[in-house]
Structure 1
Amino acid sequence: MRWCYLLVLLLGALGASIAPAADPKIEAREALWAAVRAGDEKVIAAALDKGGDVNAKNEYGITAMWIAASKGKTEVIELLLARGADPSARDGIWYQTPLSQSLNKLENVKVLLKAGAKDVDAAVIAAAGRGNLPILQAVLDGAKAKQETLDAALFATAETQKEIRAALTKAGAKPLPVVDQKDRDAWQQFAGSYESEYGGVLKVEVKDTGLVTVSGTSRVAYKPTGPGAFAPLGVEESSLTFERKSEKVVRVISRRFTAEAAYFPQGSKPVPKEPVAPKEIAGAKVVTPANWPQFRGIDSTGVADGQDPPLTWDAKTGTNILWKTPVPGLGHSCPVIWGDRVFLTSAVGGNTELKTGNYGDPNSVKDDSKLAFQVVCLDRVTGKILWTKTAFEGVPKIKRHLKGSHANCTAATDGRRVVACFGSEGLYCYDFDGKLLWTRDLGTLDSSFALEQQYEWGFAASPIIHEDRVILQCDLSRDSFIAAYSLADGSRLWTTPRDEIPSWSSPAVWRNAKRVEIVTNASQFARGYDPATGKELWRLDKKSEATVPTPVLTPELAFVVSGNRPIQPLFAIKPGATGDISLKADESANTHVAWGKLRGGPYMPTPIVYQKYLYTIGNGGMVTCYEAATGKELYKERVGGTSYTASPVAADGRLYFTSEQGEIRVVKAGPEFELLAVNKMGDVCMATPAICGGALFVRTKDALVAVSRK
């Protein structure tokens, strides 16, 4: 399951303070946790003697014992237990307990069971499934498992695992009984293969024992809990629900505690792998170019109606390719355009390898090379590089993610000046001829997703320009803030502290009927700010463990979304909000929130509002269309492709979705899904395209490509 891949993130990341650092309880907790991570028993004891709460939790339910079990040092676990630590504290992200995290170390299992650790049934299922006889035997000897759990574990264990089966049988496990034929016949409608948006396959079968899911050599037996609803035997707080339409299964929801994953009938709607649209008439229309001044264009909308980009092209043959210009280095920043100038940033030198795809590896790229952090200006019509300026040269202060770059932040321009941010390497402003106007040292912007440096992910928030100022959102491991800098000279106009853990979202300007405000998205809260003073206007509780998408704004509503646990929220906020506008537990709307959902938010790509609809795309290529005003889901369809980081853009009735593998899929706008074309760029694509003057400007790993009818 996905939590297995990402579990290691939590060892340090979730210890990041989301409350003011001056809080003595937070400081005591973090001192204790730092000592636990280091395995320093003397410092742990000292921290507890100074008043540290051994069972202190953060907002995600992480405790010192939870961290100790993750690290695996038995002496630390024993010390914490002796000082009153709860041996069964379950986190609120991946729902792990100290016991469930210790199933690879026999001594820790014995110590925790002796202390009365719960979650025994899950430990039996997991140990048997892994074929780990010593751990299984320790759990069976040290605690009492439910009969249903023993029977389920025996059913799931292959006949070849004779020792595991013998241990379970000795503990009292029995073969599952045969289910009534009438029930089995009724459940046949659920049998089949289902696929998640991340490509995982869930195979459902009906056997003599009832409903069974099969994955590789493992199998899980289920019991009915209601119409179309089942629960796996011996697994706590889990369920499998089949959603039907016209007597056909359209979606399967797998839940565990508050986490859920959606599966769809495999092969029910084949996705074309090649362009399906008719060839376009050659020759471009006369289009007045519209500027694309920042990430996703004007006010971050991603919409460029009237710019008439092509529907189909072929990078290999050159069909509808106006020009292709190699860009040195590695950068995921997007092209910005003003008039006939295109601007990019890049980090030149060092290791340029990327690990694309959907995975949970949190590691950073270790590279001590000297890099040149550059701003590049190209001619929009010809692709010729007009000038390149090196803003900073040196070894990066912060590492990058395996999928990231040292030039993640998209530049911003007002038609006379270009502002480029390189995170810890500074903020820079140039004129259109490449003259450096000013620079601002931002200090070290540590957007790690952990307190431990090995999990550094790099900075990614793009600057935006509003009137005479540059707005920059900096959500860090400590001392997060949002600030405004003078566009004229870089002087700081205001700074507002933020009680946030790291996020990678950019701010956006919301021009609504009541006022103009800056909207930000982050893990703990979405917020609105007065652009003149930096005063916080409102905040909305979100609690999504990592936040990347930028707010999406229309005059009527502001949309903020996130796609990581404990929730994957989508909220639509009305203009004029003040104070804390968070929804209560039983609410889906209130005075200031038009509608809200706790499931369905995308993790990486920013959504898009086009015409009357809100479109999201998940990392695995699942596109969902909502009625923007109400949040009503209109369709959810797999668009194809392996993984997505770039955000969608739209123009002239079409949506453009760019996969990491360099395939741009064109979907017809509207309440019904229709794939129009699949266009291959022939290279990795991580950046969101820009649209201007009849062309789509696509940044690949190694080049900038202008896609346009010639």
Structure 2
Amino acid sequence: MSFTFRFQLSTLAFAAALAAQPATTPVFWPDKNGPTFDGVVPVAEAEKLPLKWNSETGENIVWKVDLEDDGHSSPVIGGDRIWFTSATTDGKKQFVYGIDRHTGKVVHHELVFENAEPEGLGNPLNNYAAPSPVLEADALYVHFGTYGTARIDPLTGKKVWERRDINARHYRGPGSSPIIHQDLLILTFDGIDQQYVTALNKKTGETVWKTNRTTDYGDLDAEGHPTREGDMRKAYHTPSVFDLGGVQTLVSVGSRAAFGYAVDTGKELWTIRHGGFNAAIRPLIYQKVLILNTGSERAHTIGVKIDEQMKGDITESHVLWDREKRNASEACPVLVNGLLFQITRGGIVTCMNPLTGEDVWEERLSGQHLPSPIAAGDRLYFSNDRGDTRVLDAGPAFKILAENVLPDAMTAAPAVAEGALFIRTKKQLFKIAQH
């Protein structure tokens, strides 16, 4: 196995840094979709979150801090720190922020990678810091797609190891976030030239396995080369690991197909063919149904039967329902009270039965909706590109509980710690709590 990676600390210094990190450091929000990877706020926290706030009057605004550069990455929170990434507009410099969650003080603003000639985005929606980091008590993992991946020491904000040799042409910029499973850091690369999933040893950065997509894209010439360059092979998906029929399975949606992989080895277990591309929505499970989204343009939401027979091509045998219209493209759905809630980029919010795919209700909210919502008890928090966050009742009837305003667009999902919301807008980070 050939690979290149670089330790930024000596072995002794690295061990000392880990030893200095308190073993009891709480990790409140380790992933862009929270501690259970599904946007659901823990019950004890949900009861404390504010219903209303207003930046003009200062209602429930504890602090705000100005931010530099661009970034879609959602905050993660552990101990006293809030972490997320940013990048210059041209993509030549990429950073990690570490902000004190009590005061809003910028503790770390570290340059992670420099890029001499980054590939153009080709998409006004994206930027060079779209993937969100993931966090453990003793490590922060930041990922910028083809531009690099690094383990960061939360005590110092400095790199422990980095990989810059895991590459693909994103064409419109990176978007897939990393996930942690036991000792693995799992990365997804669905570019226009290469499509694969790979797992690294999270402690050393060494490659453990790499699995290429086996998708039939249907666009090859007689010599096996793609007949056109474009979006049709591309995706932005962040996977999840589930126990499916007794097998620990990495569920990963790419362009034209979704896959189940044995998480420890990367072995492909099953596939489902679909017609979408640009898949970005994280999978969910409700009872014995796996819920998948196929992409952006004309995306479908599908329900897949979970059993011990998930092997090979299960497109015909296991798809229970297929919702063809008005499906989310960027914002991840949430499951609450036995109902599935999702919102399209254009603001059509739908309440669905996850067992059948049937609509319960459908309404429209104003603005463009890129951030994933969060669910807190019986409340749903939906944010948009106008600075609005609407709080809806998570029930079988459409009801707006509150409408809140911040001064700028939101593309990152909110994070939660000790009864406070942390919302990243285009230019600022806010702490919002009842006070």
Is residue 91 of structure 2 the alignment partner of residue 376 of structure 1? Answer: no
8 Å CA contact 2:235, 2:277 repeated in 1: no
- With 572-581 and 386-395 compared, the bigger mean Cα shift is at 572-581
| Per-residue Cα deviation, 1:609-666 (whole angstroms, up to 9, x for no partner) | 122011110111111111122222100111x222111111111210011111111111
Say if 1:633 and 1:416 are closer, same or farther in 2 by CA, change over 3 A. Answer: same
- Alignment match, 1:482: 197
- Alignment match, 1:670: 395
8 Å CA contact 2:86, 2:96 repeated in 1: yes
- Alignment match, 1:612: 338
What is the identity, as a one-letter code, of the residue corresponding to 2:383? T
8 Å CA contact 1:508, 1:519 repeated in 2: yes
In the alignment, the residues of structure 2 paired with residue 556 and residue 581 of structure 1 have an alpha-carbon distance, to the nearest angstrom, of 15
CA shift, 1:422, in A, is: 1.1
CA shift, 1:511, in A, is: 4.1
- Alignment match, 1:412: 134
8 Å CA contact 1:445, 1:459 repeated in 2: no
Is residue 29 of structure 2 the alignment partner of residue 292 of structure 1? Answer: yes
| Per-residue Cα deviation, 1:365-410 (whole angstroms, up to 9, x for no partner) | xx4xx73211111122222222222111234522222111110010
Is residue 351 of structure 2 the alignment partner of residue 625 of structure 1? Answer: yes
What is the identity, as a one-letter code, of the residue corresponding to 1:488? K
Is residue 240 of structure 2 the alignment partner of residue 519 of structure 1? Answer: no
Say if 1:346 and 1:596 are closer, same or farther in 2 by CA, change over 3 A. Answer: same
C-alpha RMSD of matched pairs (Å): 2.0
Is residue 311 of structure 2 the alignment partner of residue 543 of structure 1? Answer: no
CA shift, 1:523, in A, is: 2.1
Is residue 372 of structure 2 the alignment partner of residue 635 of structure 1? Answer: no
Q: 1:435 aligns with which of 141, 147, 158?
A: 158
Q: 1:343 aligns with which of 71, 77, 83?
A: 83
In the alignment, the residues of structure 2 paired with residue 684 and residue 499 of structure 1 have an alpha-carbon distance, to the nearest angstrom, of 38
What is the identity, as a one-letter code, of the residue corresponding to 2:183? D
Is residue 316 of structure 2 the alignment partner of residue 578 of structure 1? Answer: no
CA shift, 1:508, in A, is: 1.3
8 Å CA contact 2:29, 2:76 repeated in 1: yes
In the alignment, the residues of structure 2 paired with residue 486 and residue 555 of structure 1 have an alpha-carbon distance, to the nearest angstrom, of 32
In the alignment, the residues of structure 2 paired with residue 396 and residue 424 of structure 1 have an alpha-carbon distance, to the nearest angstrom, of 12
| Per-residue Cα deviation, 1:336-385 (whole angstroms, up to 9, x for no partner) | 1123221110113xx4xxxxxxxxxxxxxxx4xx7321111112222222
CA shift, 1:512, in A, is: 5.2
In the alignment, the residues of structure 2 paired with residue 513 and residue 303 of structure 1 have an alpha-carbon distance, to the nearest angstrom, of 24
CA shift, 1:703, in A, is: 1.3
CA shift, 1:300, in A, is: 2.1
Give the number of the structure whose residues are more often helix, by fraction: 1
CA shift, 1:563, in A, is: 5.0
Say if 1:439 and 1:467 are closer, same or farther in 2 by CA, change over 3 A. Answer: same
In the alignment, the residues of structure 2 paired with residue 423 and residue 696 of structure 1 have an alpha-carbon distance, to the nearest angstrom, of 28
TM-score by length of 1: 0.53
In the alignment, the residues of structure 1 paired with residue 209 and residue 323 of structure 2 have an alpha-carbon distance, to the nearest angstrom, of 34
Say if 1:516 and 1:494 are closer, same or farther in 2 by CA, change over 3 A. Answer: same
In the alignment, the residues of structure 2 paired with residue 570 and residue 539 of structure 1 have an alpha-carbon distance, to the nearest angstrom, of 13
The number of equivalent residue pairs is 388
In the alignment, the residues of structure 2 paired with residue 660 and residue 504 of structure 1 have an alpha-carbon distance, to the nearest angstrom, of 20
8 Å CA contact 1:341, 1:377 repeated in 2: yes
- Alignment match, 2:223: none
In the alignment, the residues of structure 2 paired with residue 443 and residue 518 of structure 1 have an alpha-carbon distance, to the nearest angstrom, of 20
- Alignment match, 1:359: none
- Alignment match, 1:694: 419
In the alignment, the residues of structure 1 paired with residue 418 and residue 244 of structure 2 have an alpha-carbon distance, to the nearest angstrom, of 27
Within-5 A mapping of 1:13-24:
none
CA shift, 1:474, in A, is: 0.6
CA shift, 1:489, in A, is: 0.5
8 Å CA contact 1:570, 1:599 repeated in 2: no
- Alignment match, 1:568: 300
Within-5 A mapping of 1:80-229:
none
In the alignment, the residues of structure 1 paired with residue 135 and residue 195 of structure 2 have an alpha-carbon distance, to the nearest angstrom, of 25
Task: Give secondary structure in 1 for the equivalent of 2:146.
Answer: helix
In the alignment, the residues of structure 1 paired with residue 355 and residue 385 of structure 2 have an alpha-carbon distance, to the nearest angstrom, of 31
Say if 1:671 and 1:478 are closer, same or farther in 2 by CA, change over 3 A. Answer: same
In the alignment, the residues of structure 2 paired with residue 575 and residue 461 of structure 1 have an alpha-carbon distance, to the nearest angstrom, of 28
Task: Give secondary structure in 1 for the equivalent of 2:199.
Answer: strand
CA shift, 1:320, in A, is: 0.5
Say if 1:430 and 1:567 are closer, same or farther in 2 by CA, change over 3 A. Answer: closer
- Alignment match, 1:388: 109
CA shift, 1:707, in A, is: 1.1
Larger radius of gyration: 1
In the alignment, the residues of structure 2 paired with residue 567 and residue 372 of structure 1 have an alpha-carbon distance, to the nearest angstrom, of 33
8 Å CA contact 1:299, 1:509 repeated in 2: no
Task: Give secondary structure in 1 for the equivalent of 2:29.
Answer: coil
8 Å CA contact 1:574, 1:593 repeated in 2: no
8 Å CA contact 1:512, 1:554 repeated in 2: no
In the alignment, the residues of structure 1 paired with residue 188 and residue 115 of structure 2 have an alpha-carbon distance, to the nearest angstrom, of 24
- Alignment match, 1:200: none
Give the number of the structure whose residues are more often strand, by fraction: 2
Is residue 62 of structure 2 the alignment partner of residue 322 of structure 1? Answer: yes
8 Å CA contact 2:67, 2:427 repeated in 1: yes
What is the identity, as a one-letter code, of the residue corresponding to 1:296? N
Task: Give secondary structure in 2 for the equivalent of 1:439.
Answer: strand
Any stretches of 5+ residues in structure 2 without a counterpart?
A: 1-24, 216-232
What is the identity, as a one-letter code, of the residue corresponding to 2:275? K
- Alignment match, 1:685: 410
What is the identity, as a one-letter code, of the residue corresponding to 1:405? N
Q: Choose between structure 1 and 2 for higher RCO, CA contacts under 8 A separated by at least 6 residues.
A: 2
Is residue 183 of structure 2 the alignment partner of residue 468 of structure 1? Answer: yes
Say if 1:431 and 1:615 are closer, same or farther in 2 by CA, change over 3 A. Answer: same
| Per-residue Cα deviation, 1:446-479 (whole angstroms, up to 9, x for no partner) | 122xxxxxxxx10110000111110011101122
In the alignment, the residues of structure 2 paired with residue 301 and residue 566 of structure 1 have an alpha-carbon distance, to the nearest angstrom, of 23
Say if 1:472 and 1:317 are closer, same or farther in 2 by CA, change over 3 A. Answer: same
